[in-house]
Amino acid sequence: MPGQDAGPGLARLSLNQITAERWSVREAVAGCLQAGIPNIGLWRHKVEETGLRESVRLVREAGLGVSSLCRGGMFTAEDAAGRRAALNDNRRAIDQAAELGTEVLALVCGGLVDRDLDRARAQVAESIAALLPYAQERGVRLGIEPLHPAFAADRSVIVTLGQANDLVARLASPWAGVVIDAYHVWWDPDLYSQIARAAGHILGFHVNDWPRRNPEPLMGRAMIGEGLIELRRLRCAIDAAGYRGPIEVEIFNQAIWDRPGQEVLGLLRERYLETV
Amino acid sequence: MPGQDAGPGLARLSLNQITAERWSVREAVAGCLQAGIPNIGLWRHKVEETGLRESVRLVREAGLGVSSLCRGGMFTAEDAAGRRAALNDNRRAIDQAAELGTEVLALVCGGLVDRDLDRARAQVAESIAALLPYAQERGVRLGIEPLHPAFAADRSVIVTLGQANDLVARLASPWAGVVIDAYHVWWDPDLYSQIARAAGHILGFHVNDWPRRNPEPLMGRAMIGEGLIELRRLRCAIDAAGYRGPIEVEIFNQAIWDRPGQEVLGLLRERYLETV
């Protein structure tokens, strides 16, 4: 409850770059500096637009922490060539993360193959296992992010934190962990027991909100504090499980993307202090 | 797999009335007779439009089985008056189910109250417990239907079959069970173990499908066989858990609703034989 807890403090706040979707890396870095946001979560397509070397220079000169790189994954494919291409793409993503100085590559694991959930889930597990030696070599941790079940068909067959924890247990490597995103997991009856179980391998925490009416899961994410998720309870549980890392505000929402970025950053900073 | 199993047989096929949304009870009953569909799942608003007595007469004269009445539930409310009103409404639904000669009232349990999932879930459990003596008296079973997590905010805080099974275990009454709807549960990593656990208290099985792209969970349900759900595997697992009752085809989809009802019934009968 607000009031019973001092809040996580500004030092942990991170702008996930997609929240200011129209901005380049340069603009997002400048926006964070102006708003007093000390960390940024970068997206690969933005980094590639600006160039990797230039992106590295921009975040270093600004003194920002890079909380994560979004995103690796998309491992599932009908054929061997597709799966190999995905692994190669993920190795590039690991390289980019290492260059950018972030410890965490967030994984959106990929959707259904044919109609076979079991097969798709096996492909995800095998692919992450195959990447771990490379991730370790480059010093980058792989953060398995369970997505909301509304995305099971097209984005992620990993749909609960329990399932992600099971996967981490089987992988048995300090280079694999979970990223917990409020929007994706808030509805889960096992959420709090699974957060406790994730102690020691929580690699990221994304905040956003679920609006009262949400006809469109992909772009329906709300500004923190404007929806129904008990964000402070969730953050306290994640803290209690030992996570001390950055808290990324990540919001897919066209109306928010259409607002001036600096205004959005001011608002999210204020809401973060009030509600997270 | 098709071919390894003879299929469930037409005797178990049921038209959930919402699939032919434009039809009255009279039209839906006539449609079932013409299509050779021996069972119907009725909706309360349609029954109330036609009148309860007339609806009873129509289904009896046609010799149709009534597989369920949709729907009771919506138990969650901010205040005591709201909760009492919900219980009274559910007693009326139980009366209607008894008159219609169906054993099953399907429950859509209700969404979030304030931001408190735990409180909403406790309200659901208490409300069902409070209704059980009345349900028993009238000979109607209460079928807890877990809904897809996309509906946790506004329709059902019961979102997994495991959670519904837990609730049934706590209620410990032969008058409480579960209704399993393919669209709502297909994504769940624990689905098959929870189906086995539901043996003895499966009160209904709804089929429909999840399309490859589904931007709109409420109305995005696909015709059986046109989406990604392994319907035959699911049906075989539910059979293996001892369920021998009707299989309702229940599809919310504007494009299907806009087609001539008789055409839709012909198609679903064919697809049911092929894919369920």
- Please give the structure tokens belonging to residue A65: 């922490």
Q: What is the DSSP pairing of strand B65-73 with strand B39-43?
A: parallel
Instruction: Calculate Rg over the CA atoms of chain A.
Output: 18
Distance from CA of B235 to the nearest CA of A (A): 15
Chain B residues inside the 8 Å CB shell of A150:
148-150, 214, 217
Most A CBs within 10 Å, among B187, B208, B231, to test the A interface: B187
Does A1 score more than 50 pLDDT? no
Please report where in the chains the tokens 């109250």 appear, as a residue: B113
Quote the pTM value. Answer: 0.96
- Please give the structure tokens belonging to residue B147: 């809904």
pLDDT band (50, 70, 90) for residue A187: very high
Contact call for residues B62 and B33 (beta carbons, < 8 A): yes
Helix and strand element counts for chain A (H, E): 11, 8
List residues bridging with A39 in a β-sheet.
Answer: A14, A65
**For chain B, percent helix, then strand, then coil, each to nearest 5?**
50, 15, 35
Chain B residues inside the 8 Å CB shell of A162:
189
Out of B163, B213, B229, closest to residue A189 by CB: B163
Chain B residues inside the 8 Å CB shell of A217:
150, 215, 217
Which of B67, B101, B77, B58 is CA-nearest to residue B205?
B67
- Across the interface, do A150 and B148 touch by the CB < 8 Å criterion? yes
pLDDT score for B1: 44
H or E element at residue A215: none
User: Percentage of chain A with pLDDT > 90?
Assistant: 96
Contact call for residues A48 and A73 (beta carbons, < 8 A): no
Dist. CA B200–CA B190, nearest whole Å: 18
Residue A27: how many CB atoms within 10 A of its CB? 17
pLDDT score for B6: 76
Q: Which residue from B minimizes the CA distance to A225?
A: B115
Which amino acid type is present at position B255? Answer: A
Dist. CA B272–CA A148, nearest whole Å: 29
Q: What is the pLDDT of residues A70-83, one digit of tens each?
A: 999 999 999 999 99
**For chain A, percent helix, then strand, then coil, each to nearest 5?**
50, 15, 35
Q: Which residues of B touch A (CB under 8 A)?
A: 112, 115-117, 121, 148-150, 152-154, 157, 159-160, 162-163, 186-189, 210-218, 228-230
Dist. CA B261–CA A130, nearest whole Å: 52
- Across the interface, do A153 and B214 touch by the CB < 8 Å criterion? yes
Residue B129: phi and psi, rounded to 5, are -60, -40
Q: Where are the alpha helices (DSSP H) in B70-201?
A: 80-100, 117-138, 161-171, 182-185, 191-197
Distance from CA of B164 to the nearest CA of A (A): 11
Which of B159, B20, B44 is CA-nearest to residue B100?
B44
User: Going residue by residue through chain B (276 aa), what tens digit of pLDDT does each one get?
Assistant: 444 567 899 999 999 999 999 999 999 999 999 999 999 999 999 999 999 999 999 999 999 999 999 999 999 999 999 999 999 999 999 999 999 999 999 999 999 999 999 999 999 999 999 999 999 999 999 999 999 999 999 999 999 999 999 999 999 999 999 999 999 999 999 999 999 999 999 999 999 999 998 888 999 999 999 999 999 999 999 999 999 999 999 999 999 999 999 999 999 999 999 999
Q: Where are the alpha helices (DSSP H) in chain A?
A: 25-35, 44-50, 52-62, 80-100, 117-138, 161-171, 182-185, 191-197, 231-240, 254-257, 261-275
- Across the interface, do B189 and A148 touch by the CB < 8 Å criterion? no
pLDDT score for A215: 85
- Please give the structure tokens belonging to residue A228: 């129904």
Dist. CA A25–CA A46, nearest whole Å: 6
Residue B8: how many CB atoms within 10 A of its CB? 21
Mean pLDDT of chain A: 96
List residues bridging with A110 in a β-sheet.
Answer: A156
Residue A134: how many CB atoms within 10 A of its CB? 16
Dist. CA B203–CA B145, nearest whole Å: 10
Contact call for residues A202 and A180 (beta carbons, < 8 A): yes
Chain B residues inside the 8 Å CB shell of A118:
none
- Across the interface, do B187 and A216 touch by the CB < 8 Å criterion? no
Chain B residues inside the 8 Å CB shell of A210:
153
Which amino acid type is present at position B221? Answer: R
- Across the interface, do B215 and A210 touch by the CB < 8 Å criterion? no
Which amino acid type is present at position A59? Answer: V
pLDDT score for A213: 87
Put residue A11 in one of left, alpha, beta given phi > 0 → left and psi -120 to 50 → alpha: alpha
pLDDT score for A4: 57
Please report where in the chains the tokens 């173990």 appear, as a residue: B193
Does A2 score more than 60 pLDDT? no
